[in-house]
Structure formats: structure tokens, C-alpha cells
Amino acid sequence: MAEQTKKNAPKRSRKKDQQSNQEEWFERVIKINRVMKACKGGKRLGFRALVVVGDLKGQVGIGLGKSAEVPGAIKKAMERAKKNLVTVTTLEGTLAHRVNGRFGSSKVLVNPAPEGTGIIAGGAARIILEAAGVRNAVAKSIGSSNPINSARATLQGLLSLRSEATESKRRGIKLSIRKPVVSEAV
């Protein structure tokens, strides 16, 4: 009886499952570096890829992969980024409050912005904000322009975001979050 149900069951292809799984994620390569390693017979060439993965709904992760070939490095970085996913709190497409992130000598300031502003940021900060699903924010990178440290500083800043519920519980009072005001030119 069990054999008949297996025969009648529709066949599922792995390709379709992989394609549907890939459609859910926003995947972007930030930087590919060529690295050399000194060996006994000479120099050995390798590649390092920094990748951001997000679901555009508040989950984002960064990954670093190394391999002798570029596609291998990107694949390893994607796998590591999906393992290191973190949840970011957003409020109507923007951030609830201003955040500062710091990693190494890189510092990233991310401010909420009114609807219609878009993402005004450069380098790794822009890609991470897009992957997290933030639609309106202004970011500034200060200090080192190293994309790895800048990406980690942005992620560290986004992790320090607090929701209205957790902040009101921490303070012991009821909070009402103000929306950013749009200034109109006369």
C-alpha cells in the first residue's frame, strides 16, 4: 500500500525548489578581493567575497567567503550570510530612531527619513539597508572606508534599534512614536 502512494505522488524537482528558495532572498555582492598567499613554489592566487543576504522584511546577514575561484567564494559567502541572519526592527519602512554603529575604525550613522526620501547612503550601508527592507533612511560612513568594517558597523548599528514596545517596557511608561515630519518648500 505504501508503495502505491509513492508511485502516485507527484515528482518534485530540486531545481524548482532551489529557484523558489532563491526568489525569497535579496542577495548582493559588495566586494570581491583578489588575495595572494606566499607558498613554497611561489604565490597562490585566491579570491574573497563579501555578500549581503536579506528577505526585504527585516532579516539581513553578511558573509565572507574565500576560495580559489570567484563563484566558489560567492557561494561560501552566501551560505555564511544565511547562517548569520539577524532581525532588524523597522517602522513603516524607516527606522524608529537614530543609530550609530562602530566596528574597527569604521563608524556609520543611520537616521530615519520621511516617506519618499529613499535610501541616501553609500557603499555597504546602502546595500544592507536595502536588504533589511528599509525604504527611507539617511546614512553616513565616517572613518575607514573598508567595506567589510563598514558593513559590520552598519549591521551593529541596526542591531541596536529598539522597538516601541521594548523601549516603553524598559522605561516603564507608554510611548508614542512621532513620525518624521516632511518639510514643504514654499
**pLDDT tens digits, one per residue of 24-42:** 888 999 999 999 989 888 9
Helix axes 147-159, 123-132, angle to 10 degrees: 40
* Averaged pLDDT of the chain: 84
d(CA 58, CA 147): 21
What is the pLDDT at residue 104?
Answer: 92
Instruction: From residue 175, give the alpha-carbon distance in Å to each of 46, 50, 59.
Output: 52, 39, 25
**pLDDT tens digits, one per residue of 90-140:** 888 889 889 999 999 999 999 999 999 999 998 899 999 999 999 999 999
What is the pLDDT at residue 177?
Answer: 64
Cell of 26: 535579496
User: Whole-structure pTM over 0.85, yes or no?
Assistant: no
d(CA 98, CA 138): 10
